[in-house]
């Protein structure tokens, strides 16, 4: 079986259309407004938003394709590295457990999408998640996938769980809560293995944390996730703490996300000025 | 009757104004709105999908680009999405022009619940014109505004299967569903 599988070769049927981060960045439109009035500026996916159910459906589809890629990423980590020399057996065992979880999350996401009235492939699939799982160093994969990406999953699931709770959609609320518990475990696996493997290798740890920072920045692109109500997805501090992030690490992600939001707002102003 | 689409060329999205006009003309004929001049203004700077009507001559329909977009191919136009969005808003135009909806609040005064019942009523009628509609999507939207319970689902069914409701009847179905679970 082939090792180190490129993103372009992921198996998908004709329902899926894949896009890259470059495609996303080429879209100059934005839902973020330069209007600072709270009623206009709030973009958080909450039931009181006018387009709440459509926004939630879109995010649910994003979760669905994210779960597929997380499954593929964890599966590759089990296979791409030799046991013992490149990756400890116990690490692979954790990745196998994660595959089991992600496969179940895919099934749950399909059921929730049906429930919300979405079809598989209705939205584009951004492949950035799997790209973060293509590093040749297992520690970098854990930093990029388990800590940055699964960290984002914690933020997304918390937003969706709260949406279900406020809307009174118990299926959504409970399913997201169960998946959230798994994601906290996945992030914790990443945090624990990162510390363990790089215990005596500060340079490798720094490299991994730098890679995580790059992935975190990519996922914060356009201010999609931050503590501001202007971002569709919030930052779930409490669950991140449970997953092994310390306060300083969470503050760094919060600052990074807020900076991405401000950067996007400045770009919007610039684009508007050019357009007028 | 004239149909105008602005802008005529797009810079943020890959939309075709002549194609949009053709779809609008077909729907205008279907809904017997031929006696009105209609202008469709598309805001291509946002991916959101809000729509708003300004009555006058012409009747102006403001639409954000997400309403016509193929979400699986960002920035590309979707024929089904264009038809569904224009169909919904044109049926709302027709309702607003009829005496049965004379007492409906102005758009800016509609509550989220009122928006949901009216959209359900528009989409349901649209589905009977052989236009492909995902019923579950609109049921989910309705449940979000009326609660996830049997009373809400019965109200949805009633609106979905109706063709000639007045605003008061529509509002009454919704009020009854909400009152039953309070």
What is d(CA A197, CA A214) in angstroms, rounded to the nearest whole number?
A: 21
What is d(CA B157, CA A23) in angstroms, rounded to the nearest whole number?
A: 41
Residues on chain A touching B148 (C-beta within 8 angstroms)? 167-170
Is-contact A50 B112, C-beta < 8 A? yes
Asked if the model's pLDDT at residue B16 lies above 70, the reply is yes
- Chain A closest CA to B45's CA: distance in Å? 5
What is chain A's alpha carbon radius of gyration, rounded to the nearest angstrom? 18
Q: List the beta bridge partners of residue B77.
A: B69
A47 — contact with chain B (CB < 8 Å)? yes
A58 — contact with chain B (CB < 8 Å)? yes
Cα-based distances in Å from A260 to A267, B12, B24 = 10, 21, 39
pLDDT tens digits, one per residue of B85-120: 999 999 999 999 999 999 999 999 999 999 999 999
Phi first, then psi, for residue A87 (nearest 5°) are -145, 130
* CB nearest B72 (choices: A47, A52, A122): A122
**Residue pLDDT tens, chain A, 276 long:** 888 889 999 999 999 999 988 888 888 887 776 666 555 567 899 999 999 999 999 999 999 999 999 999 999 999 999 999 999 999 999 999 999 999 999 999 999 999 999 999 999 999 988 998 899 999 999 999 999 989 999 999 999 999 999 999 999 999 999 999 999 999 999 999 999 999 999 999 999 999 999 888 888 877 888 999 889 999 999 999 998 899 999 999 999 999 988 888 888 778 777 766
DSSP of B47-110: ----EEEE-SSSEEEEEEGGGGB-TTSTTBB-HHHHHHHHHHHHHHHHHHHSGGGTTSPPGGG-
Residues A46-57: b if buried by 16+ CB within 10 A, e if exposed: bbebebbbbbbb
Using CA coordinates, name the residue in chain A closest to B10: A275
pLDDT at A15: 97
- pTM of the predicted model as reported, rounded to 2 decimal places: 0.93
Does CATH number 2.60.120.620 belong to domain A42-275? no
Cα-based distances in Å from A47 to A204, A208, A232, B141, B152 = 44, 38, 12, 10, 16
């Amino acid at each position: 079986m082939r090792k180190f599988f490129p993103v372009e070769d992921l198996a998908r049927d004709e329902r899926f259309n894949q896009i890259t981060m470059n495609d996303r960045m080429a879209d100059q439109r934005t839902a973020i407004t330069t209007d600072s009035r709270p009623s206009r500026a709030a973009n958080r996916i909450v039931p009181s938003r006018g387009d709440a159910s459509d926004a939630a459906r879109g995010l649910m589809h994003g979760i669905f394709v994210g779960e597929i890629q997380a499954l593929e990423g964890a599966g590759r980590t089990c296979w791409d590295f030799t046991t013992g020399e490149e990756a400890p057996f116990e690490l692979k065992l954790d990745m196998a457990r994660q595959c089991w979880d992600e496969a179940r999350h895919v099934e749950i996401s399909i059921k929730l999408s049906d429930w919300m009235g979405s079809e598989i492939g209705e939205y584009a699939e951004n492949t950035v998640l799997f790209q973060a799982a293509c590093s040749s160093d297992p520690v970098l994969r854990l930093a990029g996938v388990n800590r940055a990406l699964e960290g984002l999953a914690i933020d997304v699931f918390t937003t969706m769980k709260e949406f279900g709770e406020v809307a009174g959609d118990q299926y959504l609320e409970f399913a997201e809560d169960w998946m959230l518990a798994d994601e906290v475990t996945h992030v914790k696996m990443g945090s624990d293995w990162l510390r363990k493997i790089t215990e005596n290798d500060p340079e490798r740890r720094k490299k991994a944390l730098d890679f995580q920072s790059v992935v975190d920045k990519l996922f914060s692109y356009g201010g999609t996730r931050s503590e501001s109500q202007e971002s569709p997805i919030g930052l779930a501090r409490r669950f991140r703490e449970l997953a092994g992030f310390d306060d300083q690490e969470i503050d760094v992600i919060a600052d990074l996300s807020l900076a991405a939001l401000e950067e996007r707002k400045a770009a919007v102003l610039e684009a508007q000025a050019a357009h007028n | 009757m004239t149909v105008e689409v602005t802008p005529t060329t797009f810079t943020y999205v890959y939309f075709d104004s002549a194609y949009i006009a053709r779809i609008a003309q077909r729907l205008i004929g279907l809904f017997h709105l031929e006696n009105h001049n209609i202008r469709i203004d598309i805001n291509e700077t946002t991916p959101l999908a809000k729509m708003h009507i300004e009555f006058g001559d012409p009747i102006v329909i403001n639409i954000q680009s997400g309403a016509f977009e193929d979400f699986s191919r960002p920035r590309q136009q979707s024929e089904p999405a264009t038809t569904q969005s224009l169909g919904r808003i044109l049926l709302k135009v027709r309702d607003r022009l009829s005496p049965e909806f004379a007492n409906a609040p102005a758009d800016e005064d509609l509550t989220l619940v009122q928006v949901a019942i009216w959209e359900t009523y528009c989409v349901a009628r649209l589905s009977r014109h052989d236009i492909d509609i995902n019923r579950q999507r609109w049921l989910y939207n309705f449940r979000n505004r009326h609660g996830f319970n049997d009373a809400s689902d019965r109200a949805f069914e009633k609106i979905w299967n109706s063709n000639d409701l007045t605003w008061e009847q529509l509002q009454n179905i919704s009020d009854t569903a909400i009152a039953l679970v309070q």
